[in-house]
Amino acid sequence: MDFAAARKVMVDSQVRVNDVTDRSLQAALLGVERERFCAPDRAFSAYAEVEPEIVPGRRLMLPRDLSKLLMATEARSGEKALVLAGPYAAAVLARLGLSVTAQESDATVFEVVGESLAEAGVTTVTAPLSAPHGQDWDLIVSEAACPVRPQAWLDALRVGGRAVLVERSGPIGKAVLYVRGADGLSRRELFDASPQVLAELMPEPTFAL
């Protein structure tokens, strides 16, 4: 399979046509080998309009949705980014010149993508996703959906920092942009999206009599 040709078709038919006009982002997507960020036996589907599996319980976000999320961040070279459950997004941000840390709770994800992340210059951390690594991030990104507002992630942003993620408690979720200001957080809804939900962030069930 000609992955380079498939990559160009992906950018032309799934990214540019969905109002992703940032040329630096387009170039980064063309430069990152998405097929290396999914399970080897799913590499053939890396550039289709599907969510290829990395390991059980973790998938890549649709190229259209991820590119729109990343464009909303207005990411700048030299910024510091934390990417949770999103190794492909981490590699794209590194290609844009950011200093990137990828956090996963499942170490088997890094068994699949660790070499590619190392080549991209991405630092990897294995820790529960409910507890983001570090503080004062310029940017926080997730390719998976959050069932509830991930307050711990938002608390890890510096003033002026941005977080992009999908909040999903039902069949359809909302991609949102959070910005931390000196007086608190602002929230803006961006578009509908339905990536896989991070089950480990599900709140504990409560019972009332």
pLDDT 10s per residue in the chain (209 long)?
Answer: 899 999 999 999 999 999 999 999 999 999 999 999 999 999 999 999 999 999 999 999 999 999 999 999 999 999 999 999 999 999 999 999 999 999 999 999 999 999 999 999 999 999 999 999 999 999 999 999 999 999 999 999 999 999 999 999 999 999 999 999 999 999 999 999 999 999 989 877 665 55
Q: Which residue has the tokens 């409910």?
A: 130
Let me know how long the chain is. Answer: 209
- CA distances to 64, 87, 129, 185 from 55, rounded to whole Å, are 21, 12, 16, 34
Q: Which residue has the tokens 């160009």?
A: 8
Burial of 163 (0-12, 13-18, 19+ CB in 10 A): buried
Residues 6+ apart with CB under 8 A from 66: 60, 86, 88, 89, 92, 143
Would residue 78 be called left, alpha or beta, if left means φ above 0 and alpha means ψ between -120 and 50 degrees?
left
DSSP 8-state class, residue 197? B
Report helix, strand or coil for 206. Answer: coil
Helix axes 87-95, 107-120, angle to 10 degrees: 10
Q: What is the pLDDT of residue 189?
A: 97
Closest listed residue to residue 89, CA positions, set 115, 71, 111: 71
Q: Which residues of 116-148 are buried (b: 16+ CB within 10 A; e: fewer)?
A: bbeebebbbeeeebeebbeeebbbbbbbbbbbe
Q: What is the pLDDT of residue 207?
A: 58
Q: What is the pLDDT of residue 1?
A: 85
- HEC sequence for 106-128: CHHHHHHHHHHHHHHCCEEEECC
For the chain, list the domains and their CATH numbers.
3-201 (3.40.50.150)
